[in-house]
């Protein structure tokens, strides 16, 4: 196995047009991308519905999903440390499970992120329109998308720099929130009533599980998608100076990142306020918590933080979608143009195609929000779980391949292999099955529509594979840069 993604034979030397991706991300960029990747806008915006559904027991929901993510990222870290590539889990699935798997999971993941572009652009535009209503919402969405597209087109270093500061603001904000909240809970923050803020809120007001143990699983359905993004560091590692070190570091730090930013901040919210406090639903969990501490302009402060998270998600979403498209193009699973790069190592075509689909989705959001756009959102909703499941099955096969070909590259190892891998896969299947029983929160519709899209992609994958097999059996020459050739190069 190679430690770097190998360009096709048509590629030229690094620094020349078509020379492939380049190592433009610094260690500090990778560190902050890894930290910021687990802090999405969904944590700030979506946590209130989870608290209302499960009460303080939402902490168990976050802990369960967090454990799932830690295990999945450990598997991905094992494969990516041995072979860092911008295709990440798609490239691993391609080699471990077959071309159909790499093709399918790669395109589904790309589809997920380009839909996210539209969702986040709209969310950011709403906040900006509230501050400056002279510019219409669609105008703000256009401005945000154009600025971040330009950033990604300049160089991977500019993406890394923007993400460094975006993620930095998120990390500082949540860190400050946890510290101030902890002081209030301990009763040492001036101006906060001791009887209102404290750990008693975890067991009072109906108990820790006011809606029963079943609400924990319902909470899992509501919070699972806010964890998507933790895998971005493994895609970005392919463009860093020391990919193996970057992957190893991000994999080893995932536990404390989830424990602090998710469990820590949610614990502060449910300890500061009763879970059934109306302000949590009306204002949002974090704004309500800040208001309870008497912090002035809490709503505007949180809007700034949410906007930063939205811009961070947009920035990373465009980067991630374009690199997955680049990898698909490099392996022959997308048009060859997707794998071409500028002199600065930027896959310009892959970026422009990704953002173009994002713009189309934004248009659908404004013109057909309850039909076309709703279909796009729901049909991409379960992709995170599909990706995690593919990582599990890929790791089961890749461990044997790595041990056979390059055992020295197993610098990160999945715990209790293969038993914990199988247990994780079973848990993901269980969550998908449980979603099929959920009609109140659209879980069933999300899974069914996502399965429909996945089935369409799988059919395309198998048709392409059979057509390619037919061409080989008929003696037709396989051209340079074809799927067969590039797969052999990338997975060698």
Provide the β-strand partners of residue 240: 25
pLDDT of residue 470: 59
What's the rounded Cα separation, in Å, for the pair 45 and 365? Answer: 19
pLDDT of residue 249: 86
What's the rounded Cα separation, in Å, for the pair 363 and 172? Answer: 34
pLDDT of residue 313: 87
pLDDT in tens, the chain (492 residues): 333 343 333 334 444 555 678 778 887 888 788 777 777 777 887 788 899 889 999 999 999 999 999 999 999 999 999 998 888 999 999 999 999 999 999 999 999 999 988 888 888 898 899 899 999 888 998 899 999 899 999 988 888 898 899 888 988 999 999 998 898 888 887 766 544 667 788 988 889 999 999 899 889 888 887 888 888 888 888 788 888 888 888 888 888 988 998 999 999 999 999 999 999 988 889 888 888 888 888 888 888 888 898 888 888 889 999 999 999 999 999 999 999 999 888 999 999 999 999 889 888 888 888 888 889 888 888 998 999 999 999 999 999 999 999 999 999 999 999 999 999 999 999 999 999 998 887 889 999 999 999 999 999 999 988 886 655 555 554 443 444 444 443 443
Contact 347, 359 (CB under 8 A): no
Helix or strand holding residue 439 (H, E): none
pLDDT of residue 10: 35
pLDDT of residue 405: 94
Give, in degrees to the nearest 5, the angle at Cα 446 between 33 and 63.
Answer: 50
CA-closest candidate to residue 375, choices 436, 460, 442 = 442
C-alpha dihedral over 480, 481, 484, 487, to 10 degrees?
Answer: 140
Give, in degrees to the nearest 5, the angle at Cα 121 between 24 and 264.
Answer: 75
Using the CB atoms, write b or e for 11-45: b if 16+ within 10 Å.
Answer: beeeeeeebbbbbbbeeebbbbbbbbbbbbbbbbb
Domain residue spans of the chain = 27-470
- Conformation bin of residue 284: beta by default, left when phi > 0, alpha when psi is -120 to 50: left
CA-closest candidate to residue 6, choices 479, 365, 388, 492 = 492
- DSSP 3-state of 255: helix
Backbone angles phi, psi at 23, to 5 degrees: -80, 80
Burial of 76 (0-12, 13-18, 19+ CB in 10 A): buried
pLDDT of residue 458: 95
**Other C-beta atoms within 10 Å of 107: how many?**
23
- Name residues whose C-beta falls within 8 Å of residue 424's C-beta, 6 or more positions apart in sequence: 68, 71, 72, 75, 388, 392
Q: Does domain 27-470 have CATH number 1.20.1740.10?
A: yes
- Helices (H) then strands (E): counts for the chain: 21, 0
pTM assigned to the model = 0.87
Q: Quick one: tokens of 131? A: 């501050």
């Amino acid at each position: 196995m190679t430690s770097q993604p190998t360009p096709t034979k048509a590629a030229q030397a690094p620094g020349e047009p078509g020379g492939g991706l380049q190592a433009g991300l610094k260690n500090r960029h990778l560190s902050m991308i890894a930290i910021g990747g687990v802090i999405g806008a969904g944590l700030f915006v979506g946590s209130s519905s989870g608290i209302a559904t499960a009460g303080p027991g939402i902490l168990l929901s976050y802990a369960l999903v967090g454990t799932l993510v830690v295990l999945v990222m450990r598997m991905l870290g094992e494969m990516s440390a041995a072979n860092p590539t911008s295709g990440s889990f798609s490239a691993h699935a391609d080699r471990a499970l077959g071309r159909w798997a790499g093709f399918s999971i790669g395109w589904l993941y790309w589809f997920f992120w380009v839909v996210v572009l539209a969702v986040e652009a709209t969310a950011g535009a709403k906040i900006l329109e509230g501050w400056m209503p002279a510019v219409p919402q669609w105008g703000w969405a256009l401005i945000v998308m154009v600025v971040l597209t330009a950033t990604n087109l300049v160089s991977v270093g500019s993406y890394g720099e923007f993400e460094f500061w975006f993620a930095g603001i998120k990390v500082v904000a949540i860190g400050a929130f946890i510290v101030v909240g902890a002081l209030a809970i301990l009763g040492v923050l001036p101006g906060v009533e001791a009887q209102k803020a404290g750990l008693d809120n975890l067991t009072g007001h109906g108990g820790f599980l006011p809606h029963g143990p079943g609400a924990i699983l319902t909470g899992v359905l509501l919070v699972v998608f806010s964890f998507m993004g933790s895998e971005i560091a493994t895609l970005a590692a392919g463009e860093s100076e020391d990919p193996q070190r970057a992957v190893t570091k991000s994999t080893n730090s995932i536990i404390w990142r989830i424990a602090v930013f998710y469990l820590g901040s949610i614990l502060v919210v449910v300890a500061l306020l009763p879970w059934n406090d109306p302000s949590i639903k009306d204002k949002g969990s974090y704004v309500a918590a800040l208001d309870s501490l008497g912090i002035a302009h809490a709503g505007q402060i949180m809007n700034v933080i949410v906007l930063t998270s939205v811009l961070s998600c947009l920035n990373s979403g465009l980067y991630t979608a374009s690199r997955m498209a680049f990898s698909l193009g490099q392996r022959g699973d997308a048009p060859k143009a997707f794998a071409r790069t500028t002199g600065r190592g930027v896959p310009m075509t892959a970026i422009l195609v990704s953002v173009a689909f994002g713009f189309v989705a934004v248009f659908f959001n404004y013109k057909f929000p309850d039909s076309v756009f709703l279909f796009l959102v729901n049909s991409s909703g379960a992709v995170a779980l599909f990706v995690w499941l593919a990582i599990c099955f890929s790791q089961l096969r890749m461990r044997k391949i790595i041990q056979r070909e390059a055992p020295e590259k197993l610098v990160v190892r999945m715990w209790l292999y293969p038993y914990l891998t199988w247990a994780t896969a079973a848990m993901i299947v269980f969550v998908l099955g449980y979603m099929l029983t959920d009609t109140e929160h659209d879980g069933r519709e999300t899974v069914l529509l996502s399965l429909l899209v996945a089935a369409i992609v799988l059919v395309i994958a198998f048709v392409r594979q059979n057509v390619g097999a037919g061409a080989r059996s008929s003696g037709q020459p396989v051209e340079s840069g074809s799927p067969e050739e590039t797969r052999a190069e990338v997975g060698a």
